[in-house]
């Protein structure tokens, strides 16, 4: 009886490990590049410094003129 419990527990742990590996690696796919996940942060920084955020992911900040 004790051996059956050990085998059942071992099988469950093996199954969990096998299933956890693909799901653990799923977050590092190329479908979610770092540039996309950082866009809201970059937009907030752009806004903070008075820039204009563009749809293509660029920030335009006007430099002060020579007399400013």
Predicted pLDDT at 53: 92
Q: Choose between 38 and 68: higher pLDDT.
A: 38
User: How high is the pLDDT of residue 31?
Assistant: 56
Parse the chain into domains and list their residue ranges: 35-61
Determine contact, residues 39/33, Cβ cutoff 8 Å.
Answer: no
Would the pLDDT of 47 be above 90? yes
Q: Return the higher-pLDDT residue of 22 and 54.
A: 54
Total-model pTM: 0.41
Q: How far is CA 21 from CA 3, 10, 36, 37, in A?
A: 27, 17, 25, 23
């Amino acid at each position: 009886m004790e051996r059956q419990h050990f085998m059942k527990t071992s099988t469950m742990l093996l199954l969990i490990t096998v299933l956890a590996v693909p799901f653990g690696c799923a977050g590092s796919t190329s479908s979610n590049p770092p540039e996309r996940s950082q866009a809201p942060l970059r937009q907030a920084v752009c806004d903070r410094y008075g820039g204009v955020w563009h749809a293509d992911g660029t920030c335009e900040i006007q430099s002060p003129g020579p007399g400013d």
